Structure 1
């Protein structure tokens, strides 16, 4: 029987990709062949979709990829390629350049789905986590969650406790949904790690030390296989030792104390094969809260081919994490219409909100994996937890409102 139980509700909004370069494509249909110049994240798949939509043989369609002015998952969709190709076919021999107006680009986005979590946890008399439960309410169609709205079966800490329950309710919706940087994880990390901060407090420990207790001894935790899913898409095994190493490294580089200072927050997450821990400090400056320093520790394996690019990937993830919490980013939907049309209502972070960021990459004896996604999720949690520490009021809904 649990000595203490806790419950909380967390929510987060729909988000836009808000790429600085609007979706665009240049197309020319000539002599029965179609040539496309496009900033796409999936040029091969896009080519095949265009051919299918226009009834063309795939070998008659060619794609030249231009540099991308921001993708973040939006250019995993190929709608704008089809639009430009369809117009070009009507005027053979004439190059056609299609650029969505900013208002069109916002309203025609494939949005990161919003969500609501009901979370419960139990502690024994020694403050050890013995049970964890979450129920996610998300959006999708025909009972299936939309892109980025899934609840994985390897969610930390559910995969580490003796009693766990993961539930999901899908609300059918016509809202176009799409993957946003660190799909799914960018929201799940906030809900789970912010709640774990509450649970850690009830156990009388700061979150990083509590998470080390939850991780336990170094071992490989293999989630159950999902029936009917190819092996390549099965959830990966989770190495508690690698997770513990990045948590300890984040504590080390941030000079973490057993009783952390007011305004300091922590977040850990494992996603996209990467292990990351983030410490964030924040302070009140006038009427606003500002993140004043961030420390990041990550493990993506044995080799980093381009250290400078790796560092910039992590810095970008930290800035994006800040914007999820205190940037005011959200996409309200009313009467079936998106209520955001430009950057005046969707303010991207400016350079003056960027704090000093210290990064330490932990090398491990594992094959190298990607870095575009896994640093972002714990940044969202760390900033939210830092604000909770500063204000004494739990941040349970994003974006933060004073």
Structure 2
């Protein structure tokens, strides 16, 4: 009895502590000045902003640049609030304090309908969930670049940090000149007064560092000069003149190179190894065995004076491979298993409204049903996996193109057996991420190799073949979609049951093992884009059956939206065909209570001439609409067939991404997303036979060629909302719009990706 009383008392005490913690204000993310490394003669004014002697601004940059323009967009936020030209802002890698964690990305894991918060009256479950996740995110400080969340996360904190610094600079001038703060202005990095007094930020920085900011106000939107305007990208000059440093560009004195080979079957490992011939080759120094780090297969690496020597030697190693536990994996069998899971198992219900099953039993009602599927996909980043590491005297230094600096440091520390504060990480530019560089396997491998050559930096480079055959793939998904049409032919009910592997628990096991739990929780990525769709079906039931096939799965650009948009939007087209309605007209009817979505759809249709200008002979148009990562995108594709192959000529894209910080970057991201989405929609598939991935290089994992790239027109809806995502939302509508156009051309309904093979 005493033990029971003690347990109850402890539980109550912990509960009280949690309630008390939850009631505290959220931790400030401004940070303190000493979080930024000082330079000669400059002064940090908080954890984000440092002022240089000549008056320039240094912005702490916690996000990775992988072509999405985030370094420029965040610099624009700082430049706006500090009233300096964008060219005056420099960036440097942020440190590891929790203020740099990506809180907005964690919001994206909450399984709420986008309009749930708008419907709430007061502090409901959505606002409570966001409050709690916000507090946890500020404490954990998980620094990651993903989920199209970088600008959304920085929107408040970077502007506030810059505005706070501006207030301190103006306050310092006020004290120096003995003039009221209200009488001072800031213009192009100078504090001025009508009397002619003028001082640069550099001249005021020392005093500003000791001056409390006083009242801090963000600039009125009407006065913006930088935000909302096209501006040249800060990373462009270095990429043009060759000074940009990607992971594979790292060069250090005495550096060695390593090439690896991993077990050909997923989860396999090397058995007997004969490296005698390889070690006798010129420049070859050693072979290092690699355990199965962070979800990878096991293998080995060969270290040599240059990469080509290492690559040739690795291929010369004779090895007996052990197949491992997943040697029987077969993607065709997995597809059948997923379909059976949909037929026989109830899934987790992400959203339910009305009574979808009862609506299907109403007199006069009829049901329309279709099955859809999407294959495993590889990331195929232009720059294959690589990292450089040096291990010496209990310290580890790593150079890596990564989306997750903090988990990379922790992985390096685990492998080397040192405290994490003994790991120094330099984040390089990324030659493509798309979610693949949310993983840490390649960093762990580089550190393990470097441990065998103490004090010598080693650059580990994966070949394209290893990169394709040992990815963390977009999971295969299958979906059964049903609609109920009432006696008047109106769509009133929607039931969707999908099946596929959960991504988030698997990723946490690999990248955040300290936070990975023993039980899988429902993973929003399985049903996102289905349960949170905007169409006005009165009765809905959206569920997902979570599976665990054994195939290593990971986040892939647009994640669940990338295939779920194909399922849902293709089915909307099928409903329109069943009702003999125009696909655009049906969507307009179903979006009567979703004005933002309707506005985006109408903008794309109007710019494409959907209602006004018929396509030229031999071409057809398809339309699709999708919301993801806080942004709404509609696309109209104009398509023809040439020699039996689809050819996309024109893509008209409309987007409501809230405030467009840099419209030029938004347009660039839509163009890149269209090419990425077309590559996947036309050609993308990974086949697994006997536990081995069959695709190896771009010869059999095809990319869209330059000659096949369409003209992309982007139109941005003006908005006063906070920014949504841009890097990922342009991908999901591509495949369904393409499929809709192909149906008009061929009369065949394509429900399985990819779409290029029309035989």
TM-score (normalizing by structure 1) = 0.89
Q: Which residue of 278, 281, 293 corresponds with 2:650? A: 293
Could you say what secondary structure the match of 2:498 adopts?
strand
Shift of residue 161 of structure 1? Answer: 1.9
The aligned counterpart of 1:193 is 569
The aligned counterpart of 1:335 is 690
The aligned counterpart of 2:670 is 314
More displaced 10-residue stretch of structure 1: 2-11 or 55-64: 2-11
The aligned counterpart of 2:419 is 57
Shift of residue 172 of structure 1? Answer: 2.2
The aligned counterpart of 1:248 is 602
Cα gap change, 1:143 to 1:288, in 2 (>3 Å): farther
Distance in 2 of aligned mates of 1:159 and 1:333 = 36
**Alignment deviations for residues 95-151 of structure 1 (CA, whole Å, 9 cap, x no partner):** 111001111111110000111111110122444220011111212479959988511
The aligned counterpart of 1:27 is 389
The aligned counterpart of 2:580 is 204
Distance in 2 of aligned mates of 1:196 and 1:391 = 18
The alignment's C-alpha RMSD in Å is 2.2
Structure 2: gaps spanning 5 or more residues: 1-361, 507-517
Shift of residue 169 of structure 1? Answer: 2.3
Distance in 2 of aligned mates of 1:75 and 1:68 = 9
2:452 is equivalent to residue 90 of structure 1: yes
Distance in 2 of aligned mates of 1:162 and 1:146 = 25
More displaced 10-residue stretch of structure 1: 256-265 or 163-172: 256-265
More displaced 10-residue stretch of structure 1: 281-290 or 141-150: 141-150
Aligned pair count reads 378
State whether residues 378 and 474 of structure 2, in contact with CA within 8 Å, keep that contact through their aligned partners in structure 1.
yes
2:554 is equivalent to residue 178 of structure 1: yes
The aligned counterpart of 1:225 is none
Q: Which residue of 669, 679, 703 corresponds with 1:323? A: 679
The aligned counterpart of 1:164 is 540
The aligned counterpart of 2:479 is 117
The aligned counterpart of 2:293 is none
2:442 is equivalent to residue 80 of structure 1: yes
Q: Which residue of 699, 708, 714 corresponds with 1:344? A: 699
Cα gap change, 1:4 to 1:259, in 2 (>3 Å): farther
Cα gap change, 1:145 to 1:195, in 2 (>3 Å): farther
Q: Which residue of 654, 660, 666 corresponds with 1:304? A: 660
- Structure (1/2) with the larger helix percentage: 2
TM-score (normalizing by structure 2) = 0.48
State whether residues 377 and 686 of structure 2, in contact with CA within 8 Å, keep that contact through their aligned partners in structure 1.
yes
State whether residues 526 and 546 of structure 2, in contact with CA within 8 Å, keep that contact through their aligned partners in structure 1.
no
Distance in 1 of aligned mates of 2:523 and 2:394 = 35
Distance in 2 of aligned mates of 1:13 and 1:259 = 36
State whether residues 146 and 177 of structure 1, in contact with CA within 8 Å, keep that contact through their aligned partners in structure 2.
no
2:753 is equivalent to residue 398 of structure 1: yes
Shift of residue 92 of structure 1? Answer: 1.4
Distance in 1 of aligned mates of 2:613 and 2:583 = 11
Q: Which residue of 414, 428, 433 corresponds with 1:66? A: 428
**Alignment deviations for residues 130-188 of structure 1 (CA, whole Å, 9 cap, x no partner):** 00111112124799599885113863547732211123223322111011111100000
State whether residues 14 and 112 of structure 1, in contact with CA within 8 Å, keep that contact through their aligned partners in structure 2.
yes
Structure 1: gaps spanning 5 or more residues: 218-239
Distance in 1 of aligned mates of 2:713 and 2:521 = 36
* Higher RCO structure, 1 or 2 (CA under 8 Å, sep 6+): 1
Could you say what secondary structure the match of 1:98 adopts?
strand
Cα gap change, 1:20 to 1:143, in 2 (>3 Å): same
State whether residues 373 and 479 of structure 2, in contact with CA within 8 Å, keep that contact through their aligned partners in structure 1.
yes
2:641 is equivalent to residue 284 of structure 1: yes
**Alignment deviations for residues 21-49 of structure 1 (CA, whole Å, 9 cap, x no partner):** 11000001123211111111111221122
Distance in 2 of aligned mates of 1:336 and 1:150 = 24
Q: Which residue of 700, 709, 728 corresponds with 1:354? A: 709
State whether residues 11 and 397 of structure 1, in contact with CA within 8 Å, keep that contact through their aligned partners in structure 2.
yes
More displaced 10-residue stretch of structure 1: 170-179 or 270-279: 170-179
The aligned counterpart of 1:365 is 720
More displaced 10-residue stretch of structure 1: 263-272 or 156-165: 156-165
